Amino acid sequence: MTETQAEKFARAAKEREQVATPGRGRRYYLKRAVIEILAGYLVLCLILFIFQRKFIYLPSRESDLSPQKFGFAKQQAEALESTAEDGVTIRGWHVNSGRGGPELAKAPLVDLFFCGNAGNRSDRSDTFHRLTSLGPHVACFDYRGYGDSDGAPGEEGLARDARAAWDCLEKKGVKPEHIVVHGESLGAAVALRLAAEKCAAGTPPAGLVLEAPFTSMKDVAAKHYWYVPARLLLRDTFPSLERIPQVTCPILILHGRRDDVVPFGFGQELFSAAPPQSGSGVAKQFVELPDCGHNDIGLVDRPQYREALGGFYTALCPELAPKKSDGAVPRKPLARKPRPHGMP
């Protein structure tokens, strides 16, 4: 039977379809795979955006945080409480060193300590023992959502908590010039913001101590989450690099060379952005701790750390200098540069 013209066309079309189908199939599956990968990536970014505070803030809650439960004698530590401007109540401790007596108002120097992003104040009890052994009293409040404090953490909330902690000291009779604002890691960003605000208001603290500080949370996030647009996703940014030029009180920065959480270079960059000296002419200080990582600054009794911090305290408050009768050599005050004209 002779094939008709119509049948020839149909057969040719079928042959072309059979040849072309495998090519279209590969393109289809490749396109589908790309779409699925992109969809998964967008879902990951969405999860990180929605739950980012779960990654930033790692609080541990505890109902009983009486200082005696964590090794402090009754006469050595007391509970503190303060209410932030938005009504959230935060709770903390006052640990006295014995200098000036047990009362905060009579303390020659008070270290207002701000913790890192994990745990609560009870995890820093060893740190408080070490700090008070250098002379100052210590005050530390848990952020909202941490320990036994109310609320939930966030950048603006932590700033309110810092102000509430400062207000509590002032209500107890502590003057700004007797307060050293001190923070570790995330707490360094909180402490720096508080110090910058107080300096701008004309009531600067005695000094500012930053341990393992970062330039901004965006920089830290970009380092650890390089595979997502972390800088665009973050809501809590803690821009310390922008704020440190406003700090007019003496500054001490300590950073571990082996820090793999907040790179050593971040601390150096922040130091470079700080004013060369305070309003009273005290030169800024940067102390490199060669053997320290991120979590062992202040928790391990390292002589270099103690010497740097003790010297800073003593320069701010000569009353804390070791007595000659103790067999210790008094620390030299920080070198002061001539006060430039026009500066307070």
Distance of alpha carbon 82 from alpha carbon 94, whole angstroms: 12
DSSP string, 25-89: HHHHHHHHHHHHHHHHHHHHHHHHHHTHHHHH-EE-B-S---GGGGT--TTTEEEEEEE-TTS-E
Please say if 97 is a catalytic residue: no
Q: Which one is catalytic: 94, 182, 255, 294? A: 294
Asked if 267 and 212 touch (Cβ cutoff 8 Å), the reply is yes
Distance, in Å, from the CA atom of 233 to the CA atom of 218, rounded to the nearest integer, reads: 9
Q: Position of tokens 């820090």?
A: 259
Q: Which three-class secondary structure state does DSSP give residue 222? A: helix
Run of H or E residues at 265: helix 264-273
In angstroms, the CA 240 to CA 273 distance is 10
Q: Quote the crossing angle between the two packed helices 186-200 and 155-171, to the nearest 10°.
A: 60
Task: Work out the end-to-end distance of the chain between its first and last CA atoms, rounded to an integer number of angstroms.
Answer: 112
The structure tokens listed for 211 are 């341990």
Catalytic residue among 111, 161, 236, 259: 259
Residue 294 annotated to the active site:
yes
| Phi, psi angle pair for 127, to nearest 5° | -60, -45
Give the separation between CA 269 and CA 207, rounded to whole angstroms. Answer: 20
For 267-274, which contacts have Cβ atoms below 8 Å and span 24 or more sequence positions?
267/210, 267/212, 267/213, 267/214, 269/215, 269/241, 270/210, 270/213, 270/214, 270/215, 270/240, 270/241, 270/244, 273/241, 273/244, 273/245, 274/244, 274/245, 274/247
> From CA 85, how far away is CA 151, in angstroms rounded?
13
185 carries an active-site annotation: yes
Active-site option among 185, 216, 240, 278: 185
Distance, CA of 184 to CA of 317 (rounded, Å): 22
Active site residues: 185, 259, 294
